[in-house]
Amino acid sequence: MKVQLFVSKDLEEPYAEIYTDVLTDNIQKAMVLLENEGSEKEEEGIGDNSILAVKKGQDIVLLDFEDIFMIRVEDKQTKVYTEDKEYVIKKPLYQIEESLDSNFVRVSKAAIVNLRKIKRVAPSLKGMMFIELKTD
């Protein structure tokens, strides 16, 4: 998908136009995300933003929170894991953590896990914990 951005200080209110031949799930999610931008709910932190924008190659993919298993920093990159895919996001972990809902918990300095995707937790060596994620 080709994306163009134009920044102008002459606008009274920002707006977006989307031209497509097929209305996909990602386009619908983008529309919801854009329509809620700057709303009172979002500013108060009550918004229903349950989508995270990530990159897969040159594409931007919108992931539902419920599809995310784990977010982890590896080799100085922040990676988002779903059941069978891996994505990159340019934000630092602390910024991502602020936008996530209560189903996510920071389990270490470098990892956030979706509580709904945990199969079991078991003790490991030297007081560490082992987390096994579900694989439906």
CB neighbourhood size of 112 (10 A): 21
pLDDT at residue 130 is higher than 60: yes
User: Residue 128: which domain range?
Assistant: 65-133
Question: pLDDT, tens digit, for every residue of 27-36?
Answer: 777 777 776 6
Determine the Cα–Cα distance for residues 7 and 97; give it in Å rounded to an integer.
28
Pairing of strands 77-81, 129-133: unpaired
**DSSP symbol at 67:** G
Same domain, 81 and 31: no
Question: pLDDT, tens digit, for every residue of 54-84?
Answer: 888 888 888 999 999 999 999 999 999 999 9
pLDDT at residue number 135: 81
Same domain, 40 and 69: no
Q: Determine the straight-line distance between the first and last CA of the chain, rounded to whole angstroms.
A: 31
Asked whether residue 17 is assigned to any structural domain, the reply reads: yes
Tell me the mean pLDDT in the region 34-62: 65
